[in-house]
Structure 1
Amino acid sequence: MEAVSQISEFGKILIFLITGILAVAFAFFVSRRLSPNNPNAEKLTSYECGEEPTGNAWLPFNSRFYVIALIFLLFDVEMVFILPWATVFGDKTIMSIDNRWGWLSLIEMFVFLGILILGLIYVWVKGDLDWIKPKPAIPTTDTQVPVSLYQQLNKQQGAYKVKDFSLEPVATQQTATPAAATAAPIRKPMFKPTFKKPDNES
């Protein structure tokens, strides 16, 4: 008579999860107890790629970082797809069963790489990979307003004044008197709701 397992498959998964959580907690506990703790001002500062964090954190962010991150993500995904292709193409067992699997994966990978390389060439020719573009593109518009009018407007002193930042609420001036505010007519609702009594059931 075969022995019946007392633990179901979900029970095994639960034991696996509990063991993993306990192992991670034990590693953190040992690291906390054994590692030296000598905090100072240099260690407690924010790490900004090795640069000294100075000024306000809300600064304009260069959009070229976003382009570089997209290119890195593009080729990172490419490596994820190349790994199973190389596994299938290099497996002699799969190739011996049906030789078409190897050729299918080879053609598929060349199509995928061709699309990525075509996109990379397009971005390269467009100049988006250059950190400092040699020829900055000056925007032009077809407006009828002369440039001298904009320059004259920018030279005006005191035309635009930036208000100082304050956490205190700004008191608004009330133009209407309290008597006038109370004398305003009260608007009646546009319709009057009516309720119909249900008919008595006989």
Structure 2
Amino acid sequence: MSMIIFLIALITMVLANIISKKTFMDREKSSPFECGFDPKSSARLPFSLQFFLIAVIFLIFDVEITLLIPFILILPLTHPMMYFYTLSFFLFILLLGLYHEWNQGALSWAL
């Protein structure tokens, strides 16, 4: 049954690709648009990969901090030693990930 569904989806995609009127080498679509005039300078700005890596690492650790909030809420409901072990293990994993990023050089801002 899954093979039949796969074949129907594949045939549909191939037919849509053949029938579509899109052109990939259209000059108007590939050029930057500035109110109908030719651009004065390059429309592409240089992008810092190091900044992107720092932003992704920040986002990951920010999400992990939001995972720590339920630990505060379940404190009265759990045994103190189990709470301590679970929280310590979670923080150990976070610190291990931070050490790995630091050891790989992802946290150093090189120009």
Shorter-chain TM-score category? Answer: 0.5 to 0.7
Name the counterpart of 1:32.
Answer: none
Q: Report the TM-score, using the length of structure 1 for normalisation.
A: 0.31
- Structure possessing the higher radius of gyration over alpha carbons: 1
* 1:83–1:56 CA distance, 2 compared to 1 (3 A): same
Q: Higher RCO, 1 or 2 (CA under 8 Å, sep at least 6)?
A: 2
Letter in 1 for 2:102: W
Name the counterpart of 1:123.
Answer: 101
Match of 2:65 among 68, 79, 87: 79
Structure 2 unaligned blocks of 5 or more: 1-39
Count, aligned residues: 72
Match of 2:48 among 56, 62, 72: 62
Contact 1:85 1:106 in 2 (8 A): no
Alignment of 1:188-199 (within 5 A): none
Shift of 1:115: 1.4
Identical aligned residues as a percent: 36
Name the counterpart of 1:114.
Answer: 92
What's the CA shift string for 1:121-173, capped at 9, x where partnerless?
1221222211117xxxxxxxxxxxxxxxxxxxxxxxxxxxxxxxxxxxxxxxx
Aligned equivalents of 1:88 and 1:62: distance in 2? Answer: 41
Alignment of 1:1-202 (within 5 A): 55-89=41-75, 91=76, 94-95=77-78, 99=79, 102-132=80-110
Q: Report the TM-score, using the length of structure 2 for normalisation.
A: 0.53
* 1:55–1:119 CA distance, 2 compared to 1 (3 A): farther
Aligned equivalents of 1:83 and 1:121: distance in 2? Answer: 23
Aligned equivalents of 2:85 and 2:41: distance in 1? Answer: 53
Letter in 1 for 2:93: I
**Structure that is richer in helix per residue:** 2
Shift of 1:59: 2.7
